[in-house]
Amino acid sequence: MSRVYNFSAGPSMLPEEVLKTAADEMLEYGTTGQSVMEMSHRSKEYDAIIKQAEADLRDIMKIPDNYEVLFLQGGASTQFAMIPLNLMNKNHKADYIITGQWANKAYKEASRYGDARAVASSADKTFSYIPKTTASDFDEDADYVHICLNNTIYGTKYHELPDVGGIPLVADISSCILSEPIDVNKFAVLYGGAQKNVAPAGVTIVIIRKDLIGNAMDFTPTMLNYKTHSENASMFNTPPCYSIYIAGLVFKWIKKMGGLEEMKKYNEKKAKVLYDFLDSSKLFKGTVVPEDRSLMNVPFVTGNDELDTRFVAEAKANGFVNIKGHRSVGGMRASIYNAMPIEGVEKLVEFMKKFEEENA
């Protein structure tokens, strides 16, 4: 067996240790005589799995008691609708910052349910930076402000949260969840699909302040109402059982790694290897302004489409897979989530150096 270094933006690498545990437990979980895949979600064994996963996530992220943790389905994309359906309920207004395709999709979906306003955008420079805003840019009547904390496609990240006055702040954290500590208290809602940094696709994590639950628009489908899921501890219907189980294993792995402070140090160290090389390379260059660079997604180009294509192909042949950039940016993108070991990044940089020498 030879495992590749997978730089996919998502679904992406999972810690090898987690995959081994899952493999060991595939045929029999504990002494239950069955796989978690086959288990009733109402069984006491599964109840322990989902409760432990929530407890570990609360512990790792220091989630205060006045926040609900929900394990939902439908991906982050379903949250683009759930957020306005549940939160755009006082003045039917919401402010969005457009930092990329996901943020824009969230904005467009909200526009279907109320008065969504694009307050700022970095579309003018292919989303290669985070637009600056001040509290006065936002409508004080807005029911919330929505941001995408880490922009998976473009490789930008909010290193400082925007000042939104007292307006509830909602953030899509799909591609940076658990990559570093985050002060949950600063947010009304945090949400993310699991397939970037947490688990296989299928579960979406929502962390929502409890007082915001229960005011959904009248026509909100039952399944899209946070109240439905909070009242039933994410068990209104069958939850994505296996993804939640793997998420639980990943939470335990993060604890073993030393928690989010340590994850942050490790991720910074990893990203630095790549960014330092990009800044010194004569062939490759990063596409994002240095102050807004993501720790998780690193887009880069050679400036020559033909060379880019050759690099992607040769990288693949050498065990560095899924490194092609998003079609809207071109070039390459290395997604270096929590589970990417530093050796993967070091070896990639070595390979890039060799490619650079050969193509000078």
Ligand X SMILES: *Cc1c(COP(=O)(O)O)cnc(C)c1O
Q: Which of 32, 64, 24 minimizes the C-alpha distance to 49?
A: 32
Site for ligand X in 194-213 (CB under 6 A): 196
Is position 44 annotated as part of the catalytic site? no
SS (H, E, C) the chain: CCCCEECCCCCCCCCHHHHHHHHHCCCCCCCCCCCHHHCCCCCHHHHHHHHHHHHHHHHHHCCCCCEEEEEECCHHHHHHHHHHHHHCCCCCEEEEEECCHHHHHHHHHHHCCCEEEEEEECHHHCCCCCCCCCHHHCCCCCCCEEEECEECCCCEECCCCCCCCCCCEEEECCCCCCCCCCCHHHCCEEEEECCCCCCCCCCEEEEEEHHHCCCCCCCCCHHHCHHHHHHCCCCCCCCCHHHHHHHHHHHHHHHHHCCHHHHHHHHHHHHHHHHHHHHHCCCCEECCCHHHECCCEEEEECCCHHHHHHHHHHHHHCCEECCECCCCCCCEEEECCCCCCHHHHHHHHHHHHHHHHHCC
Nearest 5°: CA angle at 139, between 136 and 144?
A: 115
- Work out how close the CB of 36 gets to ligand X at its nearest, in angstroms, rounded to a whole number: 21
| CB-nearer residue toward ligand X: 75 or 131 | 75
Q: Of 56, 95, 102, 308, which is the active-site residue?
A: 102
Q: Work out whether 309 is an interface residue with ligand X (CB under 6 A).
A: no
- Work out how close the CB of 66 gets to ligand X at its nearest, in angstroms, rounded to a whole number: 25
Site track 66-85 with ligand X (rule: CB under 6 A), x = hit: ---------xxx--------
- Work out how close the CB of 30 gets to ligand X at its nearest, in angstroms, rounded to a whole number: 30
- Work out how close the CB of 333 gets to ligand X at its nearest, in angstroms, rounded to a whole number: 12
Q: Work out whether 294 is an interface residue with ligand X (CB under 6 A).
A: no
Is position 56 annotated as part of the catalytic site? no
Q: Of 172, 252, 270, 292, which is the active-site residue?
A: 172
- Work out how close the CB of 91 gets to ligand X at its nearest, in angstroms, rounded to a whole number: 25
Sole binder of ligand X in the list 109, 172, 180, 308 (CB under 6 A): 172
Sole binder of ligand X in the list 12, 86, 99, 152 (CB under 6 A): 152
Q: Work out whether 8 is an interface residue with ligand X (CB under 6 A).
A: no
Q: Of 196, 252, 270, 324, which is the active-site residue?
A: 196
Q: Work out whether 143 is an interface residue with ligand X (CB under 6 A).
A: no
Site for ligand X in 82-141 (CB under 6 A): 102
Is position 308 annotated as part of the catalytic site? no
Sole binder of ligand X in the list 14, 60, 61, 148 (CB under 6 A): 148
Site track 319-338 with ligand X (rule: CB under 6 A), x = hit: --------------------
Instruction: Give the count of residues interacting with ligand X (CB under 6 A).
Output: 12
Interface with ligand X by CB under 6 A: which residues? 10, 75-77, 102, 148, 152, 172, 174-175, 193, 196
- Known catalytic residues are 102, 172, 196
